[in-house]
Every structure is written in C-alpha cells, then in structure tokens.
Amino acid sequence: MDANEREREDEPGSAPPRAPGLAGLSLPYRILAALVLAALAVAVCLHLGLVFLHVAPSNTLSKRNAGLVDGWVYPEFEQNWKLFAPNPLQQNIAVEARAQVRDGDGALVTTGWRDLSAQDAAGIRHSLLPSHTRQNELRRAWDFFTGSHDEENKATDAERGELSEAYLKRIAGARLGAGLPDGQRIVRVQLRSATRAVAAPAWSEEKTDTQTYYRELPWWTV
C-alpha cells in the first residue's frame, strides 16, 4: 500500500470497504435473498418428495396424493426404467406416416412414408435443451395405441381405443399437413411402426434377427 492509498483510507467520511457475499448487502436485500433461498429450498424438497413418491412402491401416501404426484411428474419428470433389467429395451421402434392429399385440381395423391420418429430424434440430437414434445409425444401416443389395441389393431377398450386413435390421427395430420402447398388438403392418414431388433455387439456370439418388421394401421379419414 502506497502513501496515497493510506491517505485516502484516513480521509474523514470515507465509506468502509463492503463485506463479501450476502453480508455486504443492505438489510432489506439480505431479507429478500434469504426469502428467495428459502423458497428454492422448499421447491427442491417438494420436487424430490414428489418424484420419490412416484418411483417408490405403492403406499398409502402415494395413493392418497396420486393426482398431485402424477400432475407434477408427467410428462417432464417421468421415470422410465425400461433401460434396466429384467426387461431392457432391445428394439428400435419407429413410427412412420403417410397421407392421401387432395390437390387443387381434385386429384387424390398418396405421399410416401415419412419417418416421424427420425424427425423427432434429429430435433433432439445435440440439443442442450431438447423439447419434451419431441421426446415424448409420438412415443407415448404409440404406446397408448398399442396398449389399448390387439395385434389385429382392434380396440380392447372402446373408450381408450377411440381416444388413442384420435390422438395418433391428430399428430400425423398436423405433422404431414404442415408443409403442404396452398390449395392442397389431407383427406386420410395412415401410420405404421417399423420394429428392428438391436444388433448384438461385435464381441458377442449371439445371433440377432435385425430385419425390419412393420405393423400397418388402416387408413383414417381426417
């Protein structure tokens, strides 16, 4: 410290150096900071508690607050354990769609199949903040359909089957119709799944059938 600095410190009325951190704030700001930190702590504890009730075995508390737990967890914080044993996912399932389009001259044109799952994956890949819609909407819609229909695509539950069909139809119609030229409109849509088993690693002697198998749904009028 040189002489000039010592003189400035000795000047009457000079403000004392400010303490670091929260201690350097005035009393109102310290109170505000404490309230914000307390609110964050409560929010974190509430979030962890709700997620714990979601993943924990069914109990009285989770049953009593099922609506609150599900409303908080789905869809952003869903816990999917299918990656782990005893039944890890061993297939890649893609959902594809095509449409019959009425052009301006009244002709009916059938489009090619569009891989909607691949489009979602491309929108997620390398993204630091991936869209939950791209991650979950199509996948959950297909799971909803297969869970309410048999292998012949007949509904096993009338109400849920009708709802799942309407949900898939709306997704396909919105995505296929987004880039249509003026004067064209979608008349019908069709969806299918393309399922292919994940190939065994190179060091394994396991033989895996990696052929793609399709499950084609009927045409649905939009």
| Domain boundaries, given as residue ranges, for the chain | 3-73, 91-221
The 10s digit of each residue's pLDDT in 157-196 is 899 999 999 999 999 999 999 878 888 899 999 999 999 9
Token pair listed for 187: 């008349």
Helix %, strand %, coil % of the chain (to 5): 45, 15, 40
Token pair listed for 111: 């489009």
Token pair listed for 197: 């088993």
> Which candidate, 144, 137, 152, 136, places its Cα nearest to that of 217?
152
Whether the Cβ atoms of residue 217 and residue 167 lie closer than 8 Å to each other = no
For the chain (222 residues), the mean pLDDT of every run of 10, in chain order, is 53 59 75 91 94 87 88 77 66 94 88 95 91 89 94 92 94 90 90 92 86 95 91
Looking at residue 144, what is its pLDDT?
A: 93
* H or E element, residue 97: strand 91-102
Please state, as a whole number, how many other Cβ atoms lie within 10 Å of the Cβ of residue 16: 6
Rounded to a whole number, what is the distance in angstroms from the first to the last CA of the chain?
81
Looking at residue 57, what is its pLDDT?
A: 85
* CA 80 remoteness from chain centre: 11
pTM recorded for the entire structure:
0.65
Q: Is 53 exposed, middle or buried (0-12, 13-18, 19+ CB in 10 A)?
A: buried
The DSSP secondary-structure symbol of 90 reads -
> Which candidate, 215, 219, 114, 96, places its Cα nearest to that of 165?
219
The DSSP secondary-structure symbol of 23 reads G
Whether the Cβ atoms of residue 212 and residue 194 lie closer than 8 Å to each other = yes
Looking at residue 207, what is its pLDDT?
A: 84
The long-range contacts involving 41-47, CB below 8 angstroms and separated by at least 24 positions, are: 47/72, 47/77
> Which candidate, 156, 165, 161, places its Cα nearest to that of 221?
165
> Which candidate, 213, 177, 181, 219, places its Cα nearest to that of 196?
213
Whether the Cβ atoms of residue 90 and residue 173 lie closer than 8 Å to each other = no
